[in-house]
A = this chain, B = another copy of it.
């Protein structure tokens, strides 16, 4: 359980100990829920509009038309954030298909549950940014888009939990999964990038990945700043033979990759990764300055 955290449940705000949900909630029974999470600075959720759009997309992908509109959800998020005075925090909002009989077939007219976590975020380990992440190449393969589409951010995360367990066993910081065709997909909760001969590469959506918000921002930065880039199939050999590599995440930003298995890459930010990171920091700073709470 988180200690420094507010939990909003359907209009009311609870302390962590009191934040409970019915065991008949389909989110609990089947992982039948969707969610978003992002970094907050002074209560402002980074790229909130983009996250809301993706929440809508996840809802479509699991055929769960949202019964609350996004403006109402935004209000609830800001209300929850206003309940605490955290400088840095993560907001996570979950919509479940609602309480139901215990049946894989969803009942009619269920009342969806909205749960929002607003938790203080201590700094991530300095080593991650100074030296880079130690990465395990997982044996667990990423879910296939025709089965459990990684583009939908849902309550079904055992696939990534198993990859995370591999990283724990290997005593690394994270794990990257291939798909069953051997293409690089993504980390447990982040997108993956490599730099090879001055070109930035990231796996194509078709390899079966989440369309990360930071990922989109980095692609826009490359486009605007004439940094050559490609979204394409990437294989294990590309990953192991690259000059720089990094991950992107809404909460962690750009984090360099130090090594993959025994294969050492850069120490800290490489030249191009560092350049993109600076440009990305500018984009986020501008966002926080111009955010409108209405």
A1-B101, A100-B1, A106-B165 as given contacts; A157 in contact with B21, CB under 8 Å? no
A140-B147, A144-B147 as given contacts; A164 in contact with B106, CB under 8 Å? yes
Give the A interface residue count (CB, 8 A).
59
A148-B158, A157-B31, A158-B32 as given contacts; A164 in contact with B20, CB under 8 Å? no
Which residue of the partner chain, among B30, B62, B90, B106, contacts A31 with CB atoms under 8 Å?
B30
A274 within 8 A of B: no
Report yes or no: B24 in contact with A23, Cβ–Cβ below 8 A. Answer: no
**Distance between Cα atoms of A142 and B27 in the complex (Å):** 20
**Distance between Cα atoms of A18 and B208 in the complex (Å):** 40
CB distance from A128 to the nearest CB of B (A): 14
Residue of B whose beta carbon sits closest to that of A35: B29
Residues of B within 8 A of A154 (CB): 158
| Top 7 closest pairs, chain A to chain B, by CB | A31-B31, A30-B157, A20-B20, A156-B156, A141-B146, A1-B24, A28-B28
Additional A-B contact list (19), CB under 8 Å, known A32-B158, A104-B164, A106-B161: A1-B101, A19-B23, A19-B24, A20-B22, A21-B22, A23-B117, A25-B28, A29-B157, A30-B157, A30-B158, A31-B155, A105-B167, A105-B188, A106-B164, A140-B147, A147-B180, A148-B159, A155-B155, A156-B156
